[in-house]
Amino acid sequence: MTDSTRRDFIKATAVGAAALLASPSRVLGASDRVRVGMIGVGARGQDLLKQLLAIPNAQLVAIADVYSRSRDQAKQLAPGIQTLDDHRRLLEMKDLDGIIVASPLHLHAHHFLDVLASGKDLYSEKTMTWSIPEAEECLAAANKSDRVVQIGLQHESSGSLADSKKWIKDGMLGKITQVESWMSRNSPHGQGQWVRPVPSDCNPQNVNWSAFLNGRHQRPFDPNKFINWRLFWEFSGGNVTENMVHQMAWIMSALELPVPSAAYMSGGVFSEKDGREVPDTIAVTLDFPNDLVVTWQSTFSNNHYGLGEHILGSDGSIEHVAGATDMVTGRTQEVTRCFPEPANRKGGEALTSETKDQNHMANWIDCIRSRKTPNAPVEIGYRSAIAAHMANLAYRQKQRVTLEMAKAAQLES
């Protein structure tokens, strides 16, 4: 952690404390639409923007982004919105009820804390933070606040999770000692996953480079790192924070797991040698208290098996598969089933999940009105972030990392 980043943490603590004094900008009436702003409207932000526009009782009012191209694209999707180049001006708007944060990962904590301090409800994209100290800061600030906080872990709103929780609670799996999970992707030769072309207008005149750096050491504008920030440790946690975190949150919620006690991770940049720092081939092992091990594997060189999880118990198994490709038809499907283990549950029937998914964004909007806890509250955002950061630290240090080691390492870095 640089000196400037440490100063940002001190500021963040002050911002979090200010959230205690913040109050909602307005009281919603029964017929009022929920008025929303957005910070960060790049590719993922625009996906969320479209989701918001599809919700009848919500209205997008304004967006903020450091890149003029992104602001222009957002205005094309939602004509009439106000566009700003500084998120602080957005948060000064008194008639906004909630803010969606979809900025790059290394900016999440900064924007998270600023939104809470402004007294507005928050939808923060995953992973909740870039580091463990930031996760601690954000959890503390959220717990001191009365704001509704939803993390963009949309699998938390899935029917498969609801049914899996019930099967586990009903004792259909018995003692669970192992969970296997995986996620695979592929791309044409020479086209690395996530690598995007740099637009011709990506220059210092159209990008607030200092705001993007967020306290990291100043250097001349780097258009490749600005556009392809996911490839570099300084701004990203790679595939672990982009994809594993979704599945780990699903597993941790289903089994009501605390943060891991230890993490191991191997792999490397094997698929495309394109200058990226974060690995594209990964094998993660997470140890949890009470005799449970969870594994996650990923490659960017093969997409055949999609993503999925196997929860393995003495009395039964849960299989959640999404994206596995049928060799004959080429079709993919998502299915969640519970199977009995004949050794301990003879005659048991296989069950298939039939509960429908909820709309994750609509759940947040509904909770802004009802003041209820959303499907992916700050607690699961925190626990899944810690798991992800522990895995990445284990990879970068090339050793088994305990929770205590991980916290100490990131505080000292």
Extract the tokens encoding 276. Answer: 């990226």
Report pLDDT for 13. 46
For residue 143, give the amino acid letter: N
pLDDT in tens, 105-164: 999 999 999 999 999 999 999 999 999 999 999 999 999 999 999 999 999 999 999 999
- Complete domains list, the chain, with CATH: 3-155+361-377 (3.40.50.720)
CA distance 178 to 314: 10
CA distance 390 to 403: 7
| Pairing mode of beta strands 98-101, 262-268 | unpaired
Query: Which among 365, 360, 371 has a CA at the least distance from the CA of 58?
Result: 365
CA distance 54 to 362: 9
pLDDT in tens, 223-275: 999 999 999 999 999 999 999 999 999 999 999 999 999 999 999 999 999 99
CA distance 203 to 282: 34
Evaluate the omega torsion of the peptide bond into residue 295 and state whether it is cis, within 30 degrees of 0: no
Q: What distances in angstroms separate CA 101 from CA 110, 152, 314, one per listed residue?
A: 10, 9, 42
CA distance 244 to 278: 14
Extract the tokens encoding 204. Answer: 């210092």
| Pairing mode of beta strands 176-184, 307-313 | antiparallel
Does residue 17 register a pLDDT over 60? no
Q: Residue 369 — pLDDT band, cuts 50, 70, 90?
A: very high
**Mean pLDDT of the region 56-76:** 97
CA distance 138 to 126: 13
Question: In the chain, what percentage of residues exceed pLDDT 90?
Answer: 87
The partner residues of 123 in beta bridges, in order of sequence, read: 100, 150
Q: What distances in angstroms separate CA 307 from CA 86, 97, 103, 228, 379, one per listed residue?
A: 37, 36, 25, 24, 24
**Mean pLDDT of the region 76-87:** 97
Does residue 50 register a pLDDT over 80? yes
| Pairing mode of beta strands 292-299, 281-288 | antiparallel
Task: Specify the pTM.
Answer: 0.91
For residue 15, give the amino acid letter: V
Q: Residue 15 — pLDDT band, cuts 50, 70, 90?
A: very low
Report pLDDT for 333. 79
Report pLDDT for 326. 60
pLDDT in tens, 167-225: 999 999 999 999 999 999 999 999 999 999 999 999 999 999 999 999 999 999 999 99
- Cα–chain-centroid distance for residue 270? 25
**Mean pLDDT of the region 343-351:** 93
